[in-house]
A = this chain, B = another copy of it.
Amino acid sequence: MSVATVSRALNNTRSVDPALADRVRTAAAELGYQPNAIARNLRRRGTRVWALVIPNIDNPFYTALARGVEEAASELGFSVLLYNTDEDEGREHRYLDVAGQERVAGAVLVPRARDSDVSSLLDAGIPLVVVDRPLDRGGDFVTAASFEGAETATEHLLSEQWRRPACISRPADTPTAEQRRQGYQAVVDRHGLPSVVCQIPFHAEEGVAMVDELLAGEDAPDSFLTVDSMLALVVLQALRRRRLRTGRDVGLISFDDAVWAQVVEPPLSVVAQPAYEIGVAAARLLSERIRDGFDETGARTVTMRTTLIVRGSSRPPPSPRG
């Protein structure tokens, strides 16, 4: 029989004799035939692969996100290429380029900054869903309510009698970190309190020293809001160094409900983000764009809720001071 018939049989196209189709399938199985996706992609003018570009695979928030994206992708019949930019613009740019050359069917991107250059994707007509950190240029976007989450956390700190909360954040060109800082700032402003912000670079060895310095200063903060879980680690180490205990000597709330949050003493209060669900939502959005083609005008933004989980680290000092 002809190659065409075989192709049809294997692809379950109607209009092929069931008996014949069966023969083809068994033969294929026996010979261990595997369709060549490369040739198929060429013919179909497109791959069944997505790119997932994240800033830091060591941050549990992004691994949970990745899990969501990968799981949903696999259910939709896509494989996902992992690109870890390490918060480096150069790497991000190169990765976006090679993703374009690989002719991925779509991409999920957590950009380094608001002005990340996504032209290689867009020029190639590759659908893009941006996640966690927004892009100035707009486009489909999935995130959690950073500003509100930070507001709620800061308010909580104040309601627990903490009087000088500080915000431990990231460089100001990091959109999400900046939104959280602003949420914090809105609250301290509202209460007529001074704003104390410390921006710790991503790859800094000196993070602990920076927080330590803050603690050593004149009007040292009595509590902290950290914008990601790695920063909570930094603060906890600085506190340990000075023998300061959370939920007693200082208050602490962190973004992201890391797995270890419940084994520190006292347990860590957090602003939880639904990282996995964000990944799944991004995947769904992307697959729709791929199916329906994408239309600059109809950009959608999905904002997920954050949840303040109060545990021991933010409880009030034994004898209220305020």
User: Could you say which of B38, B60, B66, B99 contacts A42, with CB atoms under 8 Å apart?
Assistant: B38
A101 to B32, CA, bound (A): 12
Q: Which residues of B contact A81 (CB under 8 A)?
A: 49, 79-82
**Cβ of A273 to closest chain B Cβ, rounded Å:** 15
A97 to B233, CA, bound (A): 40
Contact with B along A61-95 (1 / 0, CB 8 A): 00110110011001000011111100000000001
Known: A263-B236, A263-B260. A83 touches B103 (CB 8 A): no
A: interface residue count bin: 35 or more
**Cβ of A206 to closest chain B Cβ, rounded Å:** 17
Q: Which residues of B contact A97 (CB under 8 A)?
A: 34
A95 to B37, CA, bound (A): 14
The answer to whether B49 and A57 touch across the interface, beta carbons within 8 angstroms, is: no
Known: A70-B82, A82-B82. A103 touches B237 (CB 8 A): no
A173 at the interface (CB under 8 A from B): no
A119 to B120, CA, bound (A): 37
Q: For residue A77, which residue of chain B has the nearest CB?
A: B98
A189 at the interface (CB under 8 A from B): no
Q: Which residues of B contact A58 (CB under 8 A)?
A: 60, 63-64, 67, 259
Q: Which residues of B contact A262 (CB under 8 A)?
A: 237
Q: For residue A102, which residue of chain B has the nearest CB?
A: B37
User: Could you say which of B71, B83, B123 contacts A70, with CB atoms under 8 Å apart?
Assistant: B83
Q: Which residues of B contact A66 (CB under 8 A)?
A: 57, 82, 84
A288 to B125, CA, bound (A): 36
Q: Which residues of B contact A74 (CB under 8 A)?
A: 83, 95
**Cβ of A145 to closest chain B Cβ, rounded Å:** 24
Given A80-B82, A258-B260; 17 other pairs, CB 8 A cutoff: A34-B97, A34-B120, A38-B42, A39-B42, A49-B81, A57-B66, A58-B63, A58-B259, A60-B60, A67-B84, A74-B95, A79-B102, A82-B82, A233-B259, A236-B263, A259-B260, A260-B264
